[in-house]
C-alpha cells in the first residue's frame, strides 16, 4: 500500500490518532541525549521546578487553588497589604495574571482588596484570617512535597542546596 504522505513510498502508516495510544518506552538515562541534558544545570533546575509545581498543585487540587495562588498568599503573609502591581513585580507575574489570582483568592475568602491608607484611589490586597489558616494547613503539604523531591539527599545536603538556591535567587531574581 502506498503512503499518501511520501511519494513513492510503499510503507503503510497508521493514522496519527491510532498512534497516540502507544505507550512510550521508558527514558534511558544513559542515552547520549539524556546525558547531555543531565549535564545542563539549567535544564535540571527547570525539570525540578516543573516536578515541584506538579506535586504541589496536586496537594492544592482539592482547594481549587494552584501554586501561583499559594505564592501570592505567602507574599501577602509578609506584608500588611500591598498593591497589585507590587505583587506582580515581586512575584514576577504578569499584571493581568495577578488580577485573576487575586479575584480567585477573594472568592475563596483568603484575600481582600481594601482602600490604600496612603492613597484613597489605590487599593491594596490584604491576607484574611481564612487565608492565614489556609497557609497553616498547607504547610504540611509543602513539607511533604519538599521531602519527596529531596528524598535522595542527606539533611546536610538539603541545607546546602537550599542555601545555594537562596543565594542564586537573591542575586538573580531581585
Residue 106 belongs to domain spanning: 34-171
Pull the grid cell for residue 166. Answer: 537562596
**For residue 54, what is the domain's CATH number?**
1.10.10.10
Q: Does residue 8 lie within any of the structural domains?
A: no
Residue 101 covered by a domain: yes
| Domains of the chain: total | 1
Are residues 85 and 99 in contact, defined by beta-carbon separation less than 8 angstroms? no
**122 found inside a domain:** yes
Q: Is residue 11 part of a domain?
A: no
CA-CA distance, 10 to 1, in Å (whole number)? 5
Question: What is this structure's pTM?
Answer: 0.70
CB within 8 Å of 157: residues ≥ 6 apart:
none
Q: Tell me if 6 is assigned to some domain.
A: no
What is the pLDDT tens value at each position of the chain, 174 positions in all? 444 444 454 555 554 444 455 565 565 666 665 666 667 788 888 888 899 889 989 988 888 899 999 999 999 999 999 999 999 999 999 999 999 999 999 999 999 999 988 888 888 999 999 999 999 988 888 888 899 999 999 999 999 999 999 998 887 665
Residue 144 maps to a domain: yes
Amino acid at each position: 500500500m502506498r503512503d499518501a504522505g511520501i511519494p513513492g513510498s510503499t510503507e503503510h502508516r497508521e493514522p496519527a490518532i491510532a498512534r497516540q495510544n502507544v505507550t512510550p518506552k521508558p527514558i534511558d538515562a544513559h542515552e547520549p541525549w539524556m546525558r547531555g541534558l543531565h549535564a545542563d544545570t539549567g535544564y535540571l533546575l527547570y525539570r525540578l521546578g516543573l516536578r515541584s509545581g506538579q506535586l504541589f498543585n496536586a496537594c492544592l487540587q482539592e482547594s481549587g487553588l494552584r501554586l501561583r495562588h499559594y505564592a501570592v498568599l505567602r507574599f501577602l503573609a509578609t506584608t500588611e497589604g500591598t498593591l497589585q502591581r507590587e505583587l506582580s513585580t515581586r512575584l514576577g507575574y504578569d499584571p493581568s495574571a495577578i488580577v485573576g489570582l487575586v479575584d480567585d483568592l477573594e472568592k475563596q475568602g483568603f484575600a481582600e482588596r481594601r482602600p490604600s491608607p496612603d492613597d484613597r484611589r489605590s487599593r491594596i490586597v490584604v491576607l484574611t484570617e481564612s487565608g492565614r489558616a489556609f497557609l497553616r494547613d498547607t504547610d504540611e503539604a509543602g513539607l511533604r512535597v519538599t521531602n519527596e523531591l529531596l528524598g535522595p539527599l542527606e539533611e546536610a545536603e538539603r541545607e546546602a542546596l537550599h542555601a545555594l538556591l537562596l543565594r542564586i535567587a537573591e542575586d538573580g531574581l531581585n
